[in-house]
Amino acid sequence: MSTIQQKGAKTKKSQKGEKGNKKDDQKILDEFIKEKQQIEKQIEGSFLENYLKENSRRVQLIDAFCLYLFSLAAVQIVYRVIAGDFPYNAFLAGIFSTFGLLIITVCLRMQVNPKTRYLKNQNLSTAFWEYLLCTYIFFVAIINYLG
What is the C-alpha to C-alpha distance for residues 51 and 64, in angstroms, rounded to an integer?
13
111-128 residue pLDDT tens: 998 887 877 788 888 999
56-94 residue pLDDT tens: 899 999 999 999 999 999 999 999 999 887 888 888 888
What is the C-alpha to C-alpha distance for residues 147 and 143, in angstroms, rounded to an integer?
7
Report yes or no on whether pTM surpasses 0.95: no
**Sorting pLDDT into bands at 50, 70 and 90, what band is 36?**
confident
User: For position 11, what pLDDT does the model report?
Assistant: 52
